[in-house]
Structure 1
Amino acid sequence: MAKTASAPRRAEPGAGMSERMVALFAVAGGLAVANIYYAQPLLTAIAAEFGVGSATAALLVTVTTAGYALGLALVVPLADVLNRRRLVVTLLSVVAAVQAASAFAPSVGVLTAISAVLGVSAVVAPLMVAFGATLADDRQRGRVTGTVMSGVLIGVLLARTGGGLIAEVAGDWRAVYLVAAVLMVVLAAVLHRTLPDVPVATRMRYPALLRSVVSIVREEPVLRLRCAYGFLCFAGFSAFWASSAFLLAGEPYRFGEAVIGAFGLLGAIGAYAARVTGRFLDRGWEKATTGTLLVLLLLSWGVLALGGGTWPVALVVGVLLLDLAVQGVQVTNLGTVYALRPEARSRITMAYTGTYFLGGAAGSALSGAAYAAAGWPAVCLVGAVLALAAVVLWAIQTLRRTR
């Protein structure tokens, strides 16, 4: 009897989710995705310990994000053909081991290599978003997707705050990785006991599964459009956060690791506010909402450019606008693409988020090169060009549909 009582419950797709379960999914997604962002407020400390420049240290972010994109391509589609609960718990266990290894990295080269492995295995957050969309019923799907995505995005931002605070309190950036390893062990245990088993809807061999992703992208123009928005938005988002630590540590700010990490709290406010985007989506306002948010994104880069000088208030406002716009577009994008093919949500997640994080890798790389070449104004120019490209794309699509 004890064994039967401890067995995971089964749930059918579209059965609905309780508020408690939605909250668990949001927290789990946030804690999982935080693993690929802990290093960002630590870059100056890592660079100092290993005696490398800002561009070399920033490579940690680029490699981790690129590894994450690879994991999205190769691992996430498996959720359409495997037991989701077991897949999530296995990946969290791997992440825990990798984070523990990062804490003892003897060189920046080794840490970079470990970061690549971390990125590939740390794809639990998009799995949780697709899992939630599968469990939710039709009336709550937009709200559930928005809530879980808000949890994921807040995790992205608070990872910087937590990473900087832990490093400053402990006096060692390596402590951040040890704490992350412990958190993943605890999360894996909780999800192992709590997540339901959902019947697998698709039976397909792995090579055919991956090929089907290409077919879905080819056959769904809405998915291609939303992938383009995601690429451009997250490239700009990553461009800011990849170089913000160097801006805040230098003149005129000269902030410590804890204060640099605390800037993630500003972004978390924007991510939380983006939850309302899911409600606009449920009302059928996705086109107007997307356009408004993209214009807001472009505006944010002008404000952030002012914040690089003697206007710290402009930097704060710019961060709020940037994160609100990027997170709002993300929620709108996912809500739109998840309505396309319910039986292939994990593969749609792979196509969308894979493109999304490739944009992140590109933005991080461009940001590191721009900051090394011409400082903060160059980073803002990169972000503004990416945002302008998204606005132009939206305008072209809107005009075509109007005609």
Structure 2
Amino acid sequence: MTALSPVPGVKRATIPVFATATAVTVANIYFTQPLLERIAQDLGAPAQAAGVVATAGQIGYALGIVAIVPLADRAPLRKVSRILLVITTLALLAGALAPSITLLSVATLVLSTTTVLPQIIMPTVASLAAPGQAGRALGAVGTGLTLGALLSRTVSGALAEATGTWRVDYVAAALATASLLFVLPRHMPDRPRDTDEDKPGYLRLLASMPPLVVRHASLRLSAVLGAASFAAFSAFWATLAFHLSEKPLALGPAAAGLFGLSSVPGALAARYSGRLSDRYGPGRVNLIALASGVTAFVVFLLAADSVVALMIGCNLLGYGTTSAQIANQTRIFAGPALLRARLNTLYMFALFASGAIGSAVALALFQGHGWTATVCVGMAFLATGTLTLTVHGVRKRLRDGRGKRRQLLPVEHQRPTSRHSAAARVRTGR
């Protein structure tokens, strides 16, 4: 991972620690995917049955986002991080010792439910950053998140190949997660002591989330833009291995893992999207992200049988998806600090649902229409995001224009009658 420069208002070591923690914990969701065939063989189960392990991981992560992440708005963050790290470590060790697919799936369900620390760290680092620097902080930590997701598959496959067993991957993940216990809680901020009246109960905390969608336009905009980008991203990755296996490419399943490794430069470049969001606003970064994604799918269409072109498109798509997430979270975290974890919960739920839809639609259409269907699906989702951003921009310009006219009218048509009234107008902004 590249060196991460400090952000004003945040201790020097905090950003690297948070970035490392997000990389390690998000890897727990994805490292099992290259191991499924070997797991099925070792446990004497059909290959399809091993897919339950991956499904359990996705279900658990969704449960954790909805049920655990909102607690970051009220619970002591140091205590929450310790509890989650301990449970995740124990569940990983249980997975390493699991004698059957069923027990391995249960362990994976538990560990994926409690490995949602990245979605707690993101609103936390936004709260720690100085005003106008939240995007920069999110960009740095988001780099760790993306690298953990991309590289976990490559590392786990190589480790299992070198050792001859998939169980060592669970042990290695447990050791990496446990090591965070000695570092991460120390960098989590202390939450100010609130009165009992200020602390909503757990059920009230969950019940407070749906109204936030109505009250916060920034959340609705970010959710739609993020969902569009992530659905296109998921459509690509869901069908890439099938496309690579077909002629004329005729590449094996390991090739898809190498594509994850080759997309690291795009993920690293997206880190600077946070600074762009701070300087020019999230909307412009969203526009760049959508343009990058559309360009990627144009490359996928025009050079579908070129490995080099696919890798270039893969980097463009990864850059666009990560940049969109950084811009969207910068936008929603500009809201009240006490709501940030719940706003992030709703945003991530939209991303998770859109990813599942994008994958399902692309896979269904790929069966009958091939790679062209994947490109069309991705383009359709990105077109939805582009239309949403365009409509938002037009409405914003109209509102700004009306606001400027209202501000100018009093100045043009009213004259101060006295020195006192003129000073009053200055104080009130008239």
- TM-score bin, normalised by smaller chain: 0.7 to 0.9
- The match for 1:223 among 211, 214, 219 is 219
**Count of matched residue pairs:** 386
Q: Decide whether the 8 Å contact of 2:133 with 2:275 is kept in 1.
A: no
Max radius of gyration: which structure? 2
Cα deviations across residues 84-123 of structure 1 (Å, max 9, x unaligned)? 1111121122222222333344555554444333332221
Distance 1:321 1:59 in 2: 31
Higher RCO structure (Cα 8 Å, ≥6 apart):
1
Equivalence for 1:254:
251
Distance 2:375 2:36 in 1: 20
Shift of 1:245: 4.1
Distance 2:301 2:112 in 1: 30
Cα deviations across residues 319-358 of structure 1 (Å, max 9, x unaligned)? 1011000000000000011002122111111111122122
Equivalence for 1:31:
24
Q: Over the residues paired in the alignment, what is the CA RMSD in angstroms?
A: 2.7
Equivalence for 2:190:
197
Distance 1:329 1:226 in 2: 9
Shift of 1:200: 5.3
**What TM-score, normalized to structure 2?**
0.81
Note the residue ranges of structure 2 that are not aligned, 5 or more in a row. Answer: 1-6, 399-430
Distance 1:200 1:374 in 2: 58
Shift of 1:27: 0.9
Asked if 1:400 is matched to 2:378, the reply is: no
Shift of 1:215: 2.0
Deviant stretches of 4+, over 6 Å: none
AA matched with 1:210: L
Distance 2:365 2:112 in 1: 24
* Higher deviation after alignment, 243-252 or 157-166: 243-252
Asked if 1:212 is matched to 2:208, the reply is: yes
Note the residue ranges of structure 1 that are not aligned, 5 or more in a row. Answer: 1-13
Q: What is the correspondence of 1:17-166 to structure 2 with a 5 Å cutoff?
A: 17-43=10-36, 45-46=38-39, 50-53=45-48, 60-106=53-99, 108=101, 110-166=103-159
**Percentage of identical aligned residues:** 34
Shift of 1:297: 0.9
Q: Decide whether the 8 Å contact of 1:66 with 1:358 is kept in 2.
A: no
Equivalence for 1:296:
292
AA matched with 1:266: S
Asked if 1:336 is matched to 2:331, the reply is: yes
Cα deviations across residues 115-154 of structure 1 (Å, max 9, x unaligned)? 3333322211011111111222214322111111121112
- The match for 1:168 among 161, 165, 177 is 161
Q: Decide whether the 8 Å contact of 1:80 with 1:347 is kept in 2.
A: yes
Q: 1:192 to 1:261 in 2, by over 3 A?
A: same
Q: Decide whether the 8 Å contact of 2:56 with 2:105 is kept in 1.
A: yes
Distance 2:367 2:36 in 1: 14
Q: Decide whether the 8 Å contact of 1:38 with 1:159 is kept in 2.
A: yes
Q: Decide whether the 8 Å contact of 2:241 with 2:253 is kept in 1.
A: no
Q: 1:318 to 1:347 in 2, by over 3 A?
A: same
- The match for 2:320 among 306, 325, 328 is 325
**What TM-score, normalized to structure 1?**
0.86
Distance 2:34 2:301 in 1: 20
Equivalence for 1:283:
279
Shift of 1:67: 2.7
Distance 1:40 1:239 in 2: 17
Q: Decide whether the 8 Å contact of 1:142 with 1:282 is kept in 2.
A: yes
Equivalence for 2:261:
265
Q: Decide whether the 8 Å contact of 2:297 with 2:378 is kept in 1.
A: yes
